[in-house]
Structure 1
Amino acid sequence: MTADKILTPEQLPAALATWRAAGERIVFTNGCFDLLHLGHVDYLEKARALGDRLVVGLNTDASVSALKPGRPLQDQTSRARIMAALAFVDAVVLFGEPTPLQLIELVQPDILVKGDDYAIDGIVGHELVLNRGGQVLTVPLVAGYSTSSIVAKARG
């Protein structure tokens, strides 16, 4: 079941240990992923291709609201299930802090990924990952796709 890929911070370490014992490289990214669209799918697929396992940190409803007034459009349970249904996502973990730093500290990813609209030194957790010998990478985003533009078009 896809819901089995939604893990709590307490459940995550066991999955990480299993993957690391198998020699798998763990990729981490995060976001709100409010309305899943082509840009998200392309981004997540590219992130997963950089390693063997993809862990997605997903903002809780409260943290999305703090970042983006009037959002989320879908609740965190819906967003987590949709993320977990993607074949290239191995784990989804909700976080409610203002940034994913605490979750990145827990995951200790081999590769930290964000879209190319970020500079490496602007990515939360980059120092932590680089200091332990990991990589911090950006992947190209598909132009013209964003949740904000979809919402604006729908409100027309």
Structure 2
Amino acid sequence: MSKKVIKLTNLKSTLKNKINSEAEIVFTNGCFDILHVGHVRYLQAAKAKGDILIVGVNSDLSVKQLKGEKRPVVPESERAEMLAALEMIDYVVIFDELTAKNTIEELQPDIYVKGGDYKIEELPEAEVVHEYGGKIKLVKEVKGASTTNIVKEILKRY
């Protein structure tokens, strides 16, 4: 497992010890079940918003609750490892909750990024980000690029 995949408590102390006050911390989150070009472009855009990119990954338990019994296709440890291998990502943290509210509250990143398929006022994490004075940025969605579409295409072909 990569050193970039880190538990939340360790990440908090790592950030305190390593980061100067000028560094802008960016946080985003998702299931990242089958990594695809939409994820890569989204993560590149998120990294461009600041200096340090932290990616929260839904645990297997929370993916099942969000996406259904047949998901995730790829286990959390492998999803986290693949994300950690991407150069634009500085840290990966796995969380069990359905939303990243608790993780965001703990880390208090300067910027919270989500895809353009969301509306800021509909994000469950928005209230927490606004409470501590963080910013929320939406990045352009890659139309049609989704794990669901990949699974549908595989089923159609095979």
Place the TM-score, normalised by the shorter chain, in its bin. over 0.9
Aligned to 1:78: 78
Deviation at 1:144, TM superposition (A): 1.6
Aligned to 1:62: 61
Matches within 5 A, 1:5-44: 5-44=4-43
Aligned to 1:105: 105
Aligned to 2:90: 90
Asked if structure 1 preserves the Cα contact closer than 8 Å seen for 2:99 and 2:125, the reply is no
Which letter does structure 1 place at the counterpart of 2:137?
A: L
Aligned to 1:148: 148
Q: Which consecutive unaligned segments of at least 5 residues does structure 1 have? A: none
Deviation at 1:131, TM superposition (A): 3.0
Q: Stretches of 4+ moved more than 2 A in 1?
A: 18-22, 130-133
Aligned to 1:130: 130
How many corresponding residue pairs? 155
Give the TM-score normalised by the residue count of structure 2: 0.93
In the TM superposition, what whole-angstrom CA distance separates every residue of 1:15-62 from its partner, at most 9, and x where no partner exists?
Answer: 221354252100011000000000000001100100000111100111
Which letter does structure 1 place at the counterpart of 2:44?
A: E
Secondary structure of residue in 2 paired with 1:17: helix
RMSD: 1.3
The alignment-based identity, stated in percent, is: 44
Distance in 2 (alpha carbons) for counterparts of 1:50 and 1:19 = 19
